[in-house]
A and B are shown apart, each in its own frame.
Chain A
Amino acid sequence: MKRTPFLLTAALGALLAAAPARAGDVTEQRLLNADQEAGNWLLHHKDYAAHRYTTLDQINPATLPRLHVAWTLALGGVEGGGIWSHGGLEGTPLAEDGFLYVTDGWGRLYKIDAHGGQGVLVWMMDPKTDHDWAGAVACCGVDNRGAAFWHNLVITHTLDGRLIATDKESGKIVWQRQVANPDKGEVVTGAPLIVHDMAISGVAGAEYGIRGWIAATDLNTHQEVWRTYTIPAKGEPGAETWKDDHDAAQNGGGSTWVTGSYDPATDTIVWGVGNPGPDWDNAYRPGDNLYTDSSLGLDAKTGKIKWFFQHTPNDPFDYDSVAENVLVDAGGRHLALEADRNGIAYAIDRTNGQFVWATPFVKKLTWTKGVDPRTGKPVDYDPQRDVQVYVASVTPSRENKVTMICPGNMGGKNWPPTAYNPDLGTWYIPVIESCNRITVQETIPGKSYKPREFFTGGGPSDPERITGSLTAIDAATGRITGKAETRYPLLGGVLATPSLVLTGEPDGTFHAFDAKTLQPLWQFPTGAGISAPPMAFMVDGKEYIALLVGLGGAWDKWFIDATPELKRIQPSSMLYVFGID
């Protein structure tokens, strides 16, 4: 996002401070300038550019020794449903004027008064999510990543596919609408993105044979404005990249379950698209399989695809590209940065989708020999082939049915968000340093697909230990400038401050690293699993850091063998708030 109009926005901010908008009225202007409201956290990724950067600096290397738990609040949502024995927390709290708004895995929304150095629950909205209906088709956990503000409403999703508007004062549901259909294997786990007067929703379900989409709901009329499918219909551009004769595109995947970013300068929504389905049997779906594994630039008003950049054509690895795109101006270019599940960080020009640079950010990457510096495609990608083989000895296929891939299918980097420090020009990636084993199972046209059943063409197993790292990249050049290794994969995401980087490990360790050197400076054992990103806010003139704690997501069901010690982590659901004493 442009940082040039700083003076202008600062002036505007001063103006707003002098004559504030009605309390609780989160206007489009405020969202556009969310990065200027230092004490508040108004958007899921803090600002439209998805920087997750706070300018608050009371908590810094000098004061870290005095950083302690200020208060905690127990939340709900640990109960199971469907194939899940428990829910977990992956959300980013929102903060406005000393009030926090957080969600649990089943979509309950909690408003918490953080004034006076303690947390008091003001109200809780329970959407009564249909646990069995949704939980049976949630591939990767009972998750909800948070809320969004629009005027005096708080907008959320539920796992069972609803978009809900809750009154900020009373906690009462004002209206709701079904955006996704669990009968088709669709569920929703991401936070909505508010653009203009619309809520943008993404969908999960590529492991259940959905055809993915991004949808916009008009918040005034509660009607759908547009819905853009990530898999083109017959006759649309991109349909020619599905070359089979059995309509694989119909169950082609391409989910969109991570909240995207927005570039007001060009009115473009930038959103990541997930893996094709079936995940590992790419011979079932010859062709490049657009727009799976791509970053999309969408016209905000119409949802029309303006540009795309695909990372892993005809993906046989489950290397999705749902990750957030971080909008950064660096090296004289308007970039979108994405840390892909395939282990490679990409910068593209966000005005046209053109490739700029790529850097592997994991320690071990075996599936490709590298990225073509001209096109950004893997060097072993062969446009003449319908079924890609990449590094054939590694790549899962009907011929190579059991194979180790690095990174493992969970990535590289999964949904946990990165953060960007604009002063240092440094981008921080929460990394899963991994390999895992893929076993391919041939998918039979007309037989393998069943509604609400897994449609994956195989599965992973985890015979090797998996660790993590916090990896820093210089946005202008793509050069790696630091790597702090962690015992466990980073499953929670990152917050950047002027002087620090904060992130949690799934064993409960919450870390602060030095922003420049990545030296570990501070840690606190929360005593439960961290799978959510920290955020910062201010109340009563004091900076606090909030963190949801309670292991959610796919790890403990599908990947736990790679981290045996985590088997003893118990389900839990807790908000931790840290402050200087």
Chain B
Amino acid sequence: MRFRNFWCGRRRLAARLISAFFWASFLLPLLLAAPLLAAGSGEGPGPSPAPQPSSQPAPQPASPPAGADLPPAIAAIAAIPDAAPGDLAQGQRLYRANCAGCHKWHGGGGGGYGGAALSLRATALERPQIIETIACGRPGTGMPYHLRDAYAGAGCYGLAEKDLPAGMVLEANNFLRPAEIAAIADYVIATIKGRGEPTLAECRAFFGEGSRVCDIYEKPQ
């Protein structure tokens, strides 16, 4: 399992084809009852009929009310109070270790050699859905789940791993505790979501001194 988490979205398109078939044949009723899941595919209200390669995030449908339809374990995480402003160090550390390999330090994700992790800068998801996405991942895409018991019972999206075709859900490299998931979500919302192009200040805040990784933001392009 270990290497799966490294692939980011490279399997996204292939996986979507499988996922389209999968959802259609097994889960249509569930799907209709769970608009969130369909929103999760990033391409409108149902399983995508054909791959739509794009490094740009697909338009996000409006989010349902916060907390709606969340399984209890996820709702419990969403109920963790927001991080105090300025208290984002832990979230940043965890983001760097668990998310940056695919979404990049700046959260832009983007067209890759092997696919695309969606942009967290352009995401329309609210805190509960970001938490759900981190905890549950996205079945049929390259987004892994980070909560140990996400699919142990009928948890995330009402699914259990034992009932799913192999490879449908990806297990993260490291599992995260509920408080850690909330901390990452708060970090994403406070520093990444809604931002435009990455800036020098953001880069410095992420890497600190000692690496030349922020060079390109210093020089006028």
By a beta-carbon cutoff of 8 Å, the part of chain A in contact with chain B is 80, 83-85, 130-133, 136, 139-140, 160, 182-183, 207, 401-402, 437, 439-441, 448, 451-454, 456, 458-461, 463, 554, 556-558, 560-561, 566-570
Q: Which residues from B are CB-within-8-Å of A440?
A: 53
B27 at interface, CB cutoff 8 A: no
* B contacts with A, residue count (CB < 8 A): 36
Chain A residues closer than 8 Å to B53, beta-carbon distance: 401-402, 439-441, 458-459
Asked whether A459 and B212 contact (CB < 8 A) given A85-B101, A441-B54, the answer is no
Contact call B2/A459, Cβ cutoff below 8 A: no
In the bound complex, residues from chain A placing their C-beta under 8 Å from that of B211 are 130-133
CB contact under 8 A between A557 and B114, given known A183-B216, A440-B53, A458-B53: yes
**Is the pair B113, A460 in contact by a Cβ cutoff of 8 Å?**
yes
The 6 closest A-B pairs by CB, nearest first: A132-B213, A133-B213, A461-B14, A133-B212, A556-B3, A558-B114
Interface residue B11 (Cβ < 8 Å from any Cβ of A):
yes
Q: A441-B111, A454-B111 are in contact. Are A463 and B1 (CB under 8 A)?
A: no
Q: Are B111 and A459 in contact (CB under 8 A)?
A: yes
CB <8 Å contact, B3 and A567: yes
> Which chain B residue has the least Cβ–Cβ distance from A409?
B113
Interface check B60, CB cutoff 8 A? no
Assuming A131-B211, A402-B51, is B115 touching A461 (CB within 8 A)?
yes
Contact B2–A461 (Cβ < 8 Å): no
**CA–CA, A567 to B167, complex, Å?**
12
A207 (CB) vs chain B CBs: closest residue: B113
- Collect the chain B residues with CB atoms within 8 Å of residue A567's CB: 1-4
- Looking at the assembled complex, report how far the CB atom of B48 sits from the nearest CB atom of chain A, in whole angstroms: 13
Besides A133-B211, A461-B115, A557-B3, 15 other CB < 8 A contacts?
A: A130-B212, A131-B211, A132-B105, A133-B213, A136-B105, A454-B111, A456-B113, A459-B53, A459-B113, A459-B114, A460-B113, A461-B10, A556-B3, A567-B4, A570-B2
With both beta carbons as reference points, the residue of chain A lying nearest to B54 in the complex is identified as A441
B25 at the interface (CB under 8 A from A): no
Complex CA–CA separation, A131 to B173 (angstroms) = 20
Chain B residues with CB under 8 Å of A402's CB are 13, 51, 53
Chain B, Cβ-Cβ closest to A555: B3
Cα–Cα distance between A270 and B12 once the two chains are bound (Å)? 40
Partner of A441, one of B7, B55, B101, B213: B55
Query: Please, how many angstroms separate the alpha-carbon atoms of A402 and B53 in the complex?
Result: 9
Residue of B7, B54, B100, B114 ringed by the most chain A CB atoms within 10 A = B114
Chain A residues with CB below 8 A from B173, complex form: 85
How far does the Cβ of A322 sit from chain B's closest Cβ, in whole Å?
16
Q: Is B21 an interface residue, CB under 8 A from the partner? A: no
Q: How far is the CB of A85 from chain B (nearest CB, A)?
A: 5
Q: Tell me the complex Cα distance, A406–B111, Å.
A: 23
Q: Indicate if the CB atoms of B215 and A133 lie closer than 8 Å.
A: yes
Asked if B104 is at the interface (CB within 8 A of a chain A CB), the reply is yes
Contacting residue for A83 out of B3, B104, B207, B215, CB 8 A: B104
Nearest CB of B to A361, in Å: 25
26 residue pairs A–B, Cβ–Cβ below 8 Å: A83-B100, A83-B104, A85-B5, A130-B213, A132-B105, A132-B211, A132-B213, A136-B105, A140-B113, A207-B113, A401-B53, A402-B13, A439-B51, A448-B111, A451-B216, A454-B111, A458-B53, A460-B10, A461-B13, A461-B14, A461-B114, A461-B115, A556-B3, A557-B3, A557-B10, A567-B1
Known contacts A182-B212, A459-B112, A451 near B221 by CB under 8 Å:
yes
Q: How far is the CB of A430 from chain B (nearest CB, A)?
A: 22
Scan residues 187-221 of chain B and give those whose CB is less than 8 A from a CB of chain A.
207, 211-213, 215-216, 219, 221
